[in-house]
Amino acid sequence: MSHKLIDRARQRLAMESGPRSNPWGGRLSVALVYPNTYHHAMSNLGFLSVYQQLNAREDTLCERFFLPDSEDLEEHRRTGFRLFSLESQRPLNDFDLIAFSISFENDYLNLPTIFELGGLPLWRSERGEQSPLVLAGGVCAFLNPEPLAEICDLFAIGEAEVLLDPL
């Protein structure tokens, strides 16, 4: 366990205001992943909106994951500590669904690192039935899902705000 990484995550969370995630238990658990650093993610209104919208539902729990910044990435690799959620510090593979919000093609390059740190195979064909489903949404998935076809199990094609309500 890396207390350094956990402490940084808790400090970051303590500085936030606004809605929090629902408690664990009896809900669909969604790992909402922004494939870039925390600071990039928090300036993305679509990512923030999906987080809020999922946690507004009684049947869903949503927690956030980010690409670690360079200092945290070094600590993850040095300690072998798995990527964890900001809210509860649970590992990526504890969730039922891993939902990527991808707004920029350059962020595709961060996906292998996120899967590596999460302890999950990158390729869909190498993940077992017990692995979480992997979904991609966001502008990149909306415009051209094909580059992610061998990684993702599902795609959200369209505006998340519209797609989430009927689910």
pLDDT at 43 over 70: yes
The Cα 112–Cα 121 span in angstroms is: 9
Beta strand spans in 21-84 (E): 28-34, 60-66
The Cα 21–Cα 134 span in angstroms is: 20
CATH code given to domain 3-14+30-164? 3.40.50
Look at residues 69, 44, 31, 35 and name the one whose alpha carbon lies nearest to residue 147: 35
Q: What is the pTM of this model?
A: 0.93
Q: What percent of the chain has pLDDT over 90?
A: 75
As a residue count, the chain comes to 167
